[in-house]
Structure 1
Amino acid sequence: MQPQVQHMVEKLEHLSPDRLAEVDNFIDFLQQRDQGNRLRRDFAHLSEAAFAKLWNNDEDAIYDQL
């Protein structure tokens, strides 16, 4: 086990059941937030090619300077 993880486990051993539940909820929150960020990043990356056809054209070149 990594030293940082072992240190966290030692801290968790001293928490009350109520506090452990809060920590568990916070970990779930962090995981969901990270997953949401990954999904948004992946979606943006995948849509770049599709939008490039719309964004890169001579008619709208004037807007590139804004």
Structure 2
Amino acid sequence: MESRVQQLIKKLEHLPSGRLSEVEDFIDFLSQKDREHHMRKDFAQGAEAPFQKVWDNDDDSVYDKL
């Protein structure tokens, strides 16, 4: 059975050259979207520890039950 990548390559081989530019742009868009997602996730994880002291306090514990 062919791999998914090989199937896509065969489909790409049958596209007109003008369409290949569109496919390349879309791949670049998806890659950028993934990089941004990972960057936001990493930033959120990095900010978790410093904010833990602010979030976990007795004065605000009433909000933990909401």
TM-score, normalized by the shorter chain, greater than 0.5: yes
Report how far residue 49 of structure 1 moved.
0.5
Paired residue for 1:35? 35
Paired residue for 1:18? 18
Paired residue for 2:64? 64
| Separation (CA, whole Å) in 2 of partners of 1:20 and 1:13 | 9
| Separation (CA, whole Å) in 2 of partners of 1:29 and 1:36 | 11
RMSD: 1.2
Report how far residue 33 of structure 1 moved.
0.5
TM-score normalised to structure 2 length: 0.89
TM-score normalised to structure 1 length: 0.89
Paired residue for 1:44? 44
Letter in 2 for 1:54: V
Q: Percent identity?
A: 51
Report how far residue 51 of structure 1 moved.
0.7
| Separation (CA, whole Å) in 2 of partners of 1:32 and 1:8 | 20
Q: How many residues align?
A: 65
Report how far residue 5 of structure 1 moved.
1.1
| Separation (CA, whole Å) in 2 of partners of 1:51 and 1:61 | 15
| Separation (CA, whole Å) in 2 of partners of 1:3 and 1:37 | 27
